[in-house]
Amino acid sequence: MKKRNEEKAGLLYDFLDQSRLFQGTVEKKDRSLMNVPFVTGDKELDALFVREAESAGLVNLKGHRSVGGMRASIYNAMPRAGVEALVDFMRDFESRHPVA
């Protein structure tokens, strides 16, 4: 289970580390395998991402109300395919909202 969770988190963190739009909000040494917070740096774009993700069937991505941004909870029950779908959606969203 630990290896599976490390692989799932690795998929998401690898994308965040190379993304021009999305940034992780936790230092590498403190990253969680279960909860992955991230932002775009623009509150309106974060809100649009959450709305579009929900329309695409990717739910519960809104971050904590005191922190904002987004948070992907990828606990044990989340299949690898779910993380792959999220990364694919994030890649598409990024292509539609290029960073200047």
Looking at residue 68, which CATH number applies to its domain? Answer: 3.90.1150.10
- In the chain, % of residues over pLDDT 70: 100
Number of domains in the chain: 1
How far is CA 12 from its chain centroid? 6
pLDDT of residue 15: 98
Average pLDDT, consecutive stretches of 10 residues, N- to C-terminus, the chain (100 residues): 96 98 95 96 96 97 89 96 98 93
**Rounded Cα gap, residues 17 and 28, in angstroms:** 10
Query: Hunting for tokens 């936790």 — which residue is that?
Result: 26
Look up residue 62 and give its DSSP letter: B
pTM, full prediction? 0.94
Residue 97 CB-density burial (10 A; 0-12 exposed, 13-18 middle, 19+ buried): middle
pLDDT tens digit sequence for 83-97: 999 999 999 999 999
